[in-house]
Amino acid sequence: MSKTVMEHADASEVFNRDEPYVNWHDETLWFVRQKRDKSSKQLPEWEELREAASGIKHYVLSHLDELLVSFEQKAKENGVQVHWAANAAEHNEIVLGLLKKHKIDKMVKSKSMLTEECHMNEFLSKNGIEVIDTDLGERIVQLRNEPPSHIVLPAIHLKKKDIGDLFHEHLGTDAGATDPQYLTEAARQHLRDKFLTRRAALTGVNFAVAETGSFVVSTNEGNADMGAHLADIHIACMGFEKIIPKQEHLGVFLRLLARSATGQPITTYSSHFKKPREGQEMHIVIVDNGRSTQLGRKDFRNSLKCIRCGACMNTCPVYRRSGGHSYHNAVAGPIGSILAPNLDMTKNADLPFASTLCGSCSNVCPVKIDIHDQLYKWRQVLAKEGHVPKSKEIGIRAMSTVLAAPRFYQWSGRLGRTVMRAMPFMVNNGLNPWYKQRDMPEPPKESFRDWYVRNRKN
């Protein structure tokens, strides 16, 4: 993470300098969204599935303590060691402690947004532990020394030329080679060597089942399984909201997850871990890190239903045109923007404003989180608590003055239309944020009110 964090709007401005690139990024993600649509429409029960998923998660939120205790007990009976971390620092210390105990200084890791949230790689690296991300997209961004820009598609912001150059430098592929097949093969060889030589593997958790003490990890590449089944010690890290009551509920969630994420009916691998294999140690780290606070925020607790499919990002007009890194948070996009303020209101006050409130995110969410309503509600909270940026505050105050005085409103509308017609340069310039990347519209000749007043007399 860089030291100086740019606000979303400023970072987006940088992102938008290269128009063909932004268009490509936009279209690529929209294509993923369309695959989701096609896939979801194959199931006549899609809406009922979403309703069921949301309902199960609602039950989870209201029984979290019991479900976690049951999960812990079952997992222990299965021979799995369970750890609890109140925050990111404690999580990182637990992982470091386990590695130190086994005198391990190299580890493979499959995708875990939680460890991104905790900045675990950075911490372990400072403590002499080398962590290799094994998901191809994550390995790519790791070699570039940057965080993932999308929770499901970590390198979606990169063109194959960027990756070709990167692999040429780090993996010795041919200069100028950009064929995805060739580049993926190079990564396969490079990472196979890591899988075969690392004694510890860390994975995320997609779902943890209270009834059985087992957990499910979904991948397309097979990297979680390659790591976990070869390592002496498997550490699985989960935010506590990953819990679901029963194994049969996996039927609901696995049917929704991949269809919402990429349009696949299921990921290639849905691995169910219950007991360590003979001679192996298995650990689960259950992490709070602000989740219990979010649970107490009535308006925002539904964000904890999230199953991290990324559908809200793929559909979001702002995400598609500003890129994941503009959100300066482990989870970007609409869902990231309602999770981040809970972690740090000051640092993330800009994110709930990175939305048009169009509601598309809520429409595609497989667990029916009211994402756009929460974005709107966070704005109220942030303004009340004094976290709204000065420029926005001045604008909003001016706006409320105008809107509160009908005569002044009419006069300023007329003035605005006249100015736009007579002196277009007054608005078509760099000082007007609405002029960026777009032309101002033709001003209408009269307002609706003027038109109405005139026509009613006839």
Partner 1 sequence: MSSRDSILAKIRQNKPEEAALPAVTTFASDFENTEDKFREMLGLIYTEVIVVKDLEELAQKAEELYGKVVNRATTIPALSTWADFSLNVSDPHELETVEIAIVQAEFGVAENGAVWVSDQYLPHRVLPFITQNLAFVIPRNALVNNMHDAYVRLQDTLGWGCFIAGPSKTADIEQSLVIGAHGARSMVIFLLEGE
Scan residues 292-331 and list those touching partner 1 (CB under 8 A).
Answer: 292-293, 295-296, 298, 301
Distances (CA, A) of 34 to 26, 43, 54, 104, 260: 12, 15, 22, 44, 10
Q: Of 2-10, 84-92, 119-127, 410-418, which part binds partner 1 (CB under 8 A)?
A: 84-92
Q: Binder to partner 1 among 10, 18, 31, 102 (CB under 8 A)?
A: 31
Q: Could you tell me which stretch among 85-93, 406-414, 417-425, 436-444 binds partner 1 (CB under 8 A)?
A: 85-93
Residue selected from 18, 174, 185, 344 as contacting partner 1 according to rule CB under 8 A: 185
Tell the smallest beta-carbon distance from residue 58 to partner 1 (Å).
5
Q: What are phi and psi of 61, to 5 degrees?
A: -60, -35
Binding pattern to partner 1, positions 36-55, x when CB under 8 A?
---------x--xx-xx--x
15 near partner 1 (CB under 8 A)? no
Among 142, 212, 322, 348, which residue sits at the site for partner 1 (rule: CB under 8 A)? 212
Q: How far is the CB of 148 from partner 1 (least distance, A)?
A: 10
Which tokens is 298 given?
Answer: 């009535």
* Diameter of the chain measured on Cα atoms: 91
Q: Which of 116, 117, 133, 225 binds partner 1 (CB under 8 A)?
A: 225
Q: What is the Cα–Cα distance from 374 to 352, expressed in whole angstroms?
A: 8
Distance of CA 342 to the CA centre of its chain: 14
Where does this chain touch partner 1 (CB under 8 A) — which range of 15-23, 189-197, 338-346, 389-397?
A: 189-197
Binding mask 124-143 for partner 1 (x = CB under 8 A): ----------xxxx--x---
By CB under 8 A, residue 84 contacts partner 1: yes
Q: Which helix (H) or strand (E) holds 208?
A: strand 207-209
Tokens of 222: 């097979």
Strand 214-219 and strand 207-209: pairing?
antiparallel
Count Cα atoms within 13 angstroms, Cβ side, for 207.
Answer: 31
Among 75, 99, 183, 367, binds partner 1 (CB under 8 A): 183
Integer angstrom CA distances of residue 15 from 12, 18, 85, 322, 325: 5, 7, 36, 6, 9
Strands 281-287 and 200-203: unpaired
Among the residue ranges 225-233, 342-350, 416-424, 438-446, the one whose residues contact partner 1 (CB under 8 A) = 225-233
440: tokens are 């101002």
**Binding status of residue 20 toward partner 1 by CB under 8 A:** no
* C-beta closer to partner 1: residue 16 or 264: 264
Specify whether the CB–CB gap between 309 and 315 falls below 8 A.
no
